[in-house]
Structure 1
Amino acid sequence: MTASPPATPQELRCLIVEDQVMFLQLLRSMLEAMPGLQVVATATCQANAIALCSGDDAPDLLILDLALPDGDGLAVAEALAATRPHAKVVVLSGQASSFVCPAALQPLIAGVVDKTSAFGQLTQVLERCLPHSSEPLTPRQEEIYGLIGQGLTNKEIARATELSVATVETHRKAIAQKLGMSGSELVRQASLRSRLNAVEG
């Protein structure tokens, strides 16, 4: 269980509960780059997560793995519901398609994301939870964002997509604007997303 400095007032305070340490570290790095969101703590087991959700500093947003080594992740969501009923929960599951949400928790569930899917799905769910709710990327922008994450230059992306370098640069600026990032932050998050997708695959 680790903690971070307090979030600023306009940020959602996020707790990540995930027992796979490598996945947790990559996920934390990526979420910390998202404007409007502050990862204030992480937990790798049910007991620690429940403790973090039961106090005065309970998070506004819970990223929750259902399969924890000491019990069902839904118990963590129940603890958060009791403390902060207006919080949001994003469920991570290897069997997302078969997940059945208990009726009492339905108001909290912002989305259910399959751990085998692309990180883009989680990003879209989180963006709906964030105050700035940025406009989603177009399919072409998603493609270019992925190529940025692979370390390609604008010229290499232009060749791969059969676009001009100027068009790639325009897309790149639009992506950064939609995601509320500087150029360097865009490269960092795109790279981290690419690494996370590789771990998922």
Structure 2
Amino acid sequence: MTAPPELTKVLIVEDHRVVAEGLWALLAEYSDLTVVGWADSVAETVPMAKELKPDVALVDFRLPDGTGADAAAGIRAHDPSVAIVILSADASDSALLAAVEAGACGYLLKSASGDEIASAIRSAAEGETLIPASTLVEVLARHREDARSTAEQNERLDSMTPREQEILTLMSQGLDNRAVAERLSISYATVRTHVRRILEKLDARSQLEAVARAAEFGFKPAQPEGPEE
């Protein structure tokens, strides 16, 4: 007689009970998979993984005390043989990169079908990497571009003097140049000079665009300091 195939043991890590119960019921429909337990937090995950010794952990990315990446790192620090499949509603590049860095071999969105989830669990248990190299290359390229863009934005904001930041703050409150001059007790010509420099530094064509770009860059309004040319 042929021995029955060994079941793949799955640990579910999900903080929403209804989702966890749904996944448990879903995986019970596949004869080669068995759910051995459910953890609802990062803190609970590692002790449960130690006790239950799953082959695969199916982990939500957003947990009440951390992320799926935290849970994955904790599991694999104890037992690197446990395969990690992240199941999340977060489709961001940052979440995917965090999961990969923590040792996850798969990343599925919660819109995935039952068959897709089961297939991913099987593949992970066999040691397969479910995230295509081409996808990682694209994500890393976008991540580097975002980092460069953020650095450039910070550099533009940092290049502004305290007075320019002060005037930009008043601009964002809707004050025109004459009102800014009156508020700060400086000349209208001085305000115009500062505004021109602000537009140059933010690569903006108008004061409205400068205000919008500064907000996009994370500008934090400065407090008025009083008269000063």
Distance 2:31 2:61 in 1: 26
- Measure, in 2, the Cα distance between the counterparts of 1:44 and 1:25: 12
Displacement of 1:121:
2.6
Choose the corresponding residue for 1:93, options 77, 88, 102: 88
Query: In the aligned structure 1, how far is the partner of 2:80 from the partner of 2:123?
Result: 18
Q: Name the counterpart of 1:12.
A: 8
Higher-Rg structure is 2
Contact 2:83 2:125 in 1 (8 A): no
State the TM-score, normalized to the length of structure 2: 0.47
**One-letter code aligned to 1:75:** D
Amino acid at match of 2:67: D
User: CA contact under 8 A between 1:50 and 1:75: conserved in structure 2?
Assistant: no
Identical aligned residues as a percent = 26
- Name the amino acid aligned to 2:29: A
Q: Runs of at least 4 residues of structure 1 off by over 4 A?
A: none
User: Compared with structure 1, are the counterparts of its residues 10 and 33 closer, same or farther at alpha carbon in structure 2 (3 Å cutoff)?
Assistant: same
Report how many residues are paired.
Answer: 122
The yes-or-no answer on 1:72 pairing with 2:62 is: no
Aligned partner of 1:63: which letter? L
Task: Tell me the CA shift for residue 81 of structure 1.
Answer: 0.7
- Tell me which amino acid in the other structure corresponds to 2:57: L
**Unpaired segments ≥5 residues, structure 1:** 1-7, 132-201
User: Aligned pair in 2 of structure 1 residues 57, 117: CA closer, same or farther (>3 Å)?
Assistant: closer
TM-score (norm: length of structure 1): 0.53
| Equivalent residue number for residue 199 of structure 2 | none
Q: Distance in 1 between matches of 2:118 and 2:100?
A: 25
Q: Structure 1 residue 118 and structure 2 residue 113: aligned?
A: yes
Decide whether aligned partners of structure 1 residues 119 and 79 sit closer, same or farther in structure 2, where only a CA change above 3 A counts.
same
> How many angstroms apart in 2 are the aligned matches of 1:103 and 1:28?
25
Give secondary structure in 2 for the equivalent of 1:100: helix
Residues 29-79 of structure 1 deviation map (CA, whole Å, 9 limit, x = unaligned): 1112222222111011221112212x2533211000010112222221112
Distance 2:27 2:44 in 1: 20
**2:9 match: secondary structure:** strand
Give ranges in structure 2 of 5+ residues lacking alignment. Answer: 127-229
1:75-103 Cα offsets, whole Å, 9 max, x none, are 21112112221211110111235221466
